[in-house]
A and B are shown apart, each in its own frame.
Chain A
Amino acid sequence: GNSVTQMEGPVTLSEEAFLTINCTYTATGYPSLFWYVQYPGEGLQLLLKATKADDKGSNKGFEATYRKETTSFHLEKGSVQVSDSAVYFCALSDENWWYAGGTSYGKLTFGQGTILTVHP
Chain B
Amino acid sequence: NAGVTQTPKFQVLKTGQSMTLQCAQDMNHEYMSWYRQDPGMGLRLIHYSVGAGITDQGEVPNGYNVSRSTTEDFPLRLLSAAPSQTSVYFCASSYSRGLSTGELFFGEGSRLTVL
B100 touches A45 (CB 8 A): no
B19 within 8 Å of A (CB atoms): no
Which residues of A in the span 9-61 have a Cβ within 8 Å of any Cβ on B? 32, 34, 41-46, 49, 51
A112 within 8 Å of B (CB atoms): yes
A46 touches B104 (CB 8 A): yes
Shortest CB-to-CB span from A47 to chain B, Å, is 11
Q: How far is the CA of A51 from the CA of B101 in the complex (A)?
A: 7
A106 touches B50 (CB 8 A): yes
Chain A, Cβ-Cβ closest to B98: A46
Contact-size category for A: 20 to 34
Q: How far is the CA of A91 from the CA of B37 in the complex (A)?
A: 14
B53 within 8 Å of A (CB atoms): no
B102 touches A49 (CB 8 A): yes
Q: Would you give the 0/1 interface string for B78-109, flagging 1 where the beta carbon is closer than 8 Å to chain A?
A: 00000000000010100000011111101111
Interface size on B, residues (CB 8 A): 28
A103 within 8 Å of B (CB atoms): yes
Chain A, Cβ-Cβ closest to B9: A41
Binding site for B on A (CB under 8 A): 4, 32, 34, 41-46, 49, 51, 89, 91-93, 95, 97-98, 103, 105-108, 110-113
Shortest CB-to-CB span from A89 to chain B, Å, is 6
Shortest CB-to-CB span from A53 to chain B, Å, is 16
Shortest CB-to-CB span from B113 to chain A, Å, is 17
For B33, the chain A residues whose CB sits under 8 A away are: 106
